[in-house]
Amino acid sequence: MNWIEPNSIDVTPIQHLNEQGVLTGKTVINDEEKLDIYKWMVKARRFDELAVKFQRQGKIGTYAPLTGQEAAQVGSAFALEEKDWIFPSYREAAACFVRGTKPSSFFKYAMGHLHGGILKEEGVFPVQIIIGAQALHAAGSAWADQYKNNDAVSVAYIGDGATSQGDFHEAMNFASVFQLPVVYFVQNNQWAISVPYHKQTRSLSIAQKALAYGMTGVQVDGNDAVGVYETMKEARSLAKDGKPVLIEALTHRMGPHTTSDDPSKYRSKEGDEAWGKKDPIARYRKWLEGLQLWSEEEEQDLNASIEDELKQAFNEATETTTTSLGDALGYVYEKPTNRLREQILEWKGSGESK
Amino acid sequence: MTEMNMIEAINFTLRQEMEKDEDVLILGEDVGRNGGVFRATDGLVDTFGERRVVDTPLAESGIIGTAVGMAVRGLKPVAEIQFLGFIYEAMDQIAAQAARIRFRSAGNFHAPMVIRAPYSGGVKTPELHSDSLEALFMHSAGIKVIMPSSPSDAKGLLNAAIEDPDPVLFLEPMKLYRAIRENVEEERYTIEIGKANILKEGSDITLISWGSTMAETKKAVQMLEENGYSIELIDLRTIVPLDEETIIDSVMKTSRCVVVHEAVKSAGVGAEISAIINEKALFYISAPVLRVTGYDSPYPVATVENDWIPSVDRIVREVKHVWELSLD
């Protein structure tokens, strides 16, 4: 009998930089890039802290923190090329920053500005609210590149919860059937709001789900920026040749799901502490210091410059004039329908009725 | 001019658009070698190859979701949902993704794509193949909805849909695919999306219909005219945007209106038309706007479907009813 037992599939995660900050694997990252990755991670975390603080102060609306997932996001986005596209969820500020999205855009998005969020030129799709829906958009985008013989790759950023959605499975299937240049990058942060991984799926890993679709799957320590970078580099190169890849980055959302969520209701202190020891930034800094690439003084300079930049970004967002509802209604169709035109006029107080 | 039925006109148009623009591609279930279950895409794979006429895995959300990604990245996908009743599977990708992307990105992104789907009863299909669901999409701002009722309209409207910069749902009445043959201009032409067609002018009562029920409505008009009523018959052609002007102008002239549609009555397009007349022409009408529609039930089994679909008799009865209710 050739039964396939679920626990017979063994997946060993890739790790290049261990929790003590010791490089255990190889890397092609040069010194300048090493520092860039670190700076992006530190900036992302500070942005995150500020966003949570501003939400508490009522200065911005609901925000979905990413602290703990900096290595997964920065390491993966940093491995891409400018022509590539990413399809983020609402928790991917760090990945979007690496692509060129300004922190002020994210502040504006969280403030509910019409022109907040993503610009097309950044090769970033607007952040997705519906869980997993972007997995299909990434497949379609990759399909467009394949069709036009562009040498680009599309990357969908999804969470562990999204792998329960139909769209995830349809996207994996399409990607594999049509051999699309797409990478599915799952940040398995252990929690879909309050539901833990083991209640989301009985698969021992998300990476192994790739086998069912006839594509390549890989699991990586998502708190190891070096491992993530190298894995994405390799995945990108496979995807480019029509071999789509599913990457599972094992990580942990240290904060709440959003600023409206209280993780103490569903998470243990011990669990959080265990994950705290795997902090992606702390281990990376140790590594840089060990390489004599980083000092306390440089750390302080970096923090000061980030503080300035983010303060400016926030001021820019705060000072942005609110766009009117009348203007917003102009974006439903390329040209407003007669009815919308009527409603815009009505809103502006000069509505005509027949 | 060539004589065509609706399915031939659609096939002809798709071929014409694909010849004109290499970024136009077709994707859906069985659209390739099989040429679509109704033959709408028949032969296209032989001319354009599997790269441009794509048999997808069986997944409605997958078809529409990937089309969104393609459209945003510069292609012009024409996606087929095999039967409109299956479109619930893709509801998020249509209503929450394709339709909203322009608005939620303040015009920075948009998804110019066409979704074709056959609908309508009277052809004894199994469950969930025949439903008329246009009102769901009228309620989902950001998408346009076209429902042709003749081969030449189908051609001009499909041409327009494919060149439209917004997502368009193109709903084809299964019952009329092969019911009518007419002379269709082979030259490429477009019919403006959002412009109703006054099929016949009249002075007593405005009758409004579209898509599949145009066949019964036309027969009813003929009977009514023989009985001395002067009917103005409007084919809406497009549900979104809705040609309010043509509706209001007509009702102001005739002062009476009956709407005929195959979808269920509650919260249907007929209710919307009735509300518009109420808002904009109340003092010009002399009787309530009446509706002849499907019943408020799921689309029924084949043995009773002809009782469920608006019949010529029901249309005639309601037109006479509105005449009796008139104040003048």
Residue B185 is predicted with a pLDDT of 97
**Higher pLDDT, residue A354 or A34:** A34
- The reply to whether residue B101 touches residue A126, judged by beta carbons under 8 angstroms, is yes
- Nearest residue on chain B to A178, alpha-carbon basis: B56
Mention every residue, 6+ apart, whose C-beta is less than 8 A from residue A341: none
Domain boundary at B150, B184, B218, which? Answer: B184
Residue A23 is predicted with a pLDDT of 97
Determine contact, residues A215/A246, Cβ cutoff 8 Å. yes
**Residue among B56, B93, B109 minimizing CB distance to A133:** B93
Residue A212 is predicted with a pLDDT of 95
The ipTM value here is 0.95
Q: Is B208 inside any structural domain?
A: yes
List the beta bridge partners of residue B145: B169, B240
Alpha carbon of A72: minimum distance to chain B alpha carbons (Å): 24
In this prediction, what percent of chain B has a pLDDT beyond 70? 100
Contacts with A119 from chain B: Cβ below 8 Å: 108
Mean pLDDT of the A9-29 span: 94
- The reply to whether residue B69 touches residue A141, judged by beta carbons under 8 angstroms, is yes
Q: Is B192 inside any structural domain?
A: no
Q: Is B250 inside any structural domain?
A: yes
Tokens encoding B200: 């016949």
Provide the number of CB pairs (under 8 Å) joining chain A to chain B: 141
Number of folded domains that form chain B: 2
- The reply to whether residue B70 touches residue A125, judged by beta carbons under 8 angstroms, is no
Q: Is the pLDDT of residue A6 over 90?
A: no
Same domain, B77 and B215: no
Mean pLDDT of chain B: 97
Same domain, B53 and B159: yes
User: Please, where are the H alpha helices in chain B?
Assistant: 6-20, 44-48, 60-72, 91, 101-104, 134-138, 151-163, 214-226, 244-254, 269-281, 302-308, 312-325
Q: Is B139 inside any structural domain?
A: yes
Same domain, B175 and B208: no
Q: Is the pLDDT of residue B223 over 90?
A: yes
Alpha carbon of B141: minimum distance to chain A alpha carbons (Å): 7
Tokens encoding A281: 């930034």
* Other CB atoms within 10 Å distance of the CB of residue A285: 18
Q: Is B189 inside any structural domain?
A: no
A154-171 pLDDT, tens digit per residue, is 999 999 999 999 999 999
- The reply to whether residue B71 touches residue A140, judged by beta carbons under 8 angstroms, is yes
> What's the CA gap between B133 and A33, in Å, rounded?
54
Residue A351 is predicted with a pLDDT of 56
| Residue A181 CA: distances (Å) to CA of A139, A174, A177, A346 | 8, 11, 12, 47
Active site residue B129: yes
Alpha carbon of B176: minimum distance to chain A alpha carbons (Å): 29
Domain boundary at B156, B184, B212, which? Answer: B184
Same domain, B50 and B129: yes
- The reply to whether residue A334 touches residue B110, judged by beta carbons under 8 angstroms, is yes
B261-283 pLDDT, tens digit per residue, is 999 999 999 999 999 999 999 99
- Nearest residue on chain A to B109, alpha-carbon basis: A120
Same domain, B87 and B137: yes
Same domain, B210 and B307: yes
Give the CATH number of the domain where residue B262 resides. 3.40.50.920
Residue A81 is predicted with a pLDDT of 98
Q: Is the pLDDT of residue A354 over 70?
A: no
Mean pLDDT of chain A: 95
Mean pLDDT of the A106-127 span: 91
Same domain, B64 and B177: yes
Same domain, B178 and B210: no
State the residue range of the domain holding B49.
2-184
Q: Model confidence at A353, in pLDDT bands (50, 70, 90)?
A: very low
Tokens encoding B81: 């949902």
Determine contact, residues A76/A135, Cβ cutoff 8 Å. no
List the beta bridge partners of residue B240: B145
Same domain, B137 and B59: yes
Residue B328 is predicted with a pLDDT of 76
Contacts with B72 from chain A: Cβ below 8 Å: 125, 137, 140-141
Active-site choice (B110, B129, B261, B321): B129
**Residue among B66, B105, B248 minimizing CB distance to A136:** B66
Residue B268 is predicted with a pLDDT of 97
Find tokens 């795997």 and name the residue: A278
Peptide bond into B241 cis (omega under 30): yes
Tokens encoding A86: 């990413």
Same domain, B7 and B92: yes
Considering the domain A17-321 in this protein, what is its CATH number?
Answer: 3.40.50.970
Mark B204-226 as b/e (b = at least 16 C-beta within 10 Å): bbbbbbbbbbbbbbbebbeebee
In a 13 Å sphere around the CA of A77, the CA atoms on its Cβ side amount to 30
Give the CATH number of the domain where residue B136 resides. 3.40.50.970
Q: Is the pLDDT of residue A117 over 90?
A: no
HEC letters along B144-170: EEECCCCHHHHHHHHHHHHHCCCCEEE
* Other CB atoms within 10 Å distance of the CB of residue B154: 29
Q: Is the pLDDT of residue A352 over 60?
A: no
Determine contact, residues A280/A217, Cβ cutoff 8 Å. no
Active-site choice (A257, A267, A283, A285): A257
Active site residue A109: no
Same domain, B79 and B227: no
Model confidence, pTM: 0.96
In a 13 Å sphere around the CA of A242, the CA atoms on its Cβ side amount to 6
Domain boundary at B130, B158, B184, which? Answer: B184
A201-251 pLDDT, tens digit per residue, is 999 999 999 999 999 999 999 999 999 999 999 999 999 999 999 999 999
B71-126 pLDDT, tens digit per residue, is 999 999 999 999 999 999 999 999 999 999 999 999 999 999 999 999 999 999 99
Alpha carbon of B304: minimum distance to chain A alpha carbons (Å): 35
Alpha carbon of A145: minimum distance to chain B alpha carbons (Å): 8
Mean pLDDT of the A168-190 span: 98
Contacts with B244 from chain A: Cβ below 8 Å: 338-339
CA terminus-to-terminus distance, chain B: 46
Contacts with B77 from chain A: Cβ below 8 Å: 140
In this prediction, what percent of chain A has a pLDDT beyond 90? 92
Mean pLDDT of the B150-158 span: 98
- The reply to whether residue B241 touches residue A126, judged by beta carbons under 8 angstroms, is no
Domain ranges for chain A, please list them: 17-321, 324-353
Contacts with A334 from chain B: Cβ below 8 Å: 102, 110, 165-166
Contacts with A144 from chain B: Cβ below 8 Å: 69-70, 73-75
Q: Which own/partner pairs from A234-238 qualify as long-range (CB within 8 Å, at least 24 positions apart)?
A: A235/A183, A236/A79, A236/A80, A236/A81, A236/A84, A236/A153, A236/A183
Same domain, B289 and B211: yes
